[in-house]
Structure 1
Amino acid sequence: MANCENCGGHVTDQYKRVFADNQGTLHACPHCRSQTDRYDGAGAGLNN
């Protein structure tokens, strides 16, 4: 399983592949950001 770099929460590898940045770093997950924020790019560190 993968981890969120922001809070350390566990996410699936598939979730990380979809929402992480181009280097594979996941900056936000369901545990630390809202769904809207994540869809707007928070997982890739675009709107932290």
Structure 2
Amino acid sequence: MPECQNCEAFVTDQYVRVFAPTGMESVRVCPNCPGKVRDGADVRDARSPRH
């Protein structure tokens, strides 16, 4: 099962197909990651709070 590389939460295969770069089998950040966003090939802290 795919999981988030940041928080290790379960993500669906469909979520991975949409949000992971081509060739990756998991995502770097998911909606469960508080205050984190994707930034190109990296993950960074959000500049504004996420609710």
Q: Pick the TM interval, shorter chain.
A: 0.5 to 0.7
Give the fraction of aligned pairs with identical amino acids, expressed as a percent: 40
In structure 1, runs of 5+ residues without a counterpart are none
Instruction: Give the CA RMSD over aligned residues.
Output: 2.1
Residue 12 of structure 2 aligns to which amino acid in structure 1? Answer: T
Matched residue count: 40
Larger relative helix fraction: 1
Q: TM-score w.r.t. structure 1 length?
A: 0.63
Larger radius of gyration: 2
Q: Give the Cα separation in 2 of the matches to 1:7 and 1:31.
A: 8
The normalised TM-score by structure 2 is 0.60
Matches within 5 A, 1:28-39: 28-33=29-34, 37=37
Which ranges of 4 or more aligned residues in structure 1 deviate by more than 3 Å? none
Within a 5 Å distance, the mapping from 1:1-48 to structure 2 comes to 1-24=1-24, 25-33=26-34, 37=37, 42=38, 46=40, 48=43
Supply the distance in 2 between the matched residues of 1:4 and 1:12 (Cα, whole angstroms). 10
Q: Return 5+ residue gaps in structure 2 as ranges.
A: 44-51
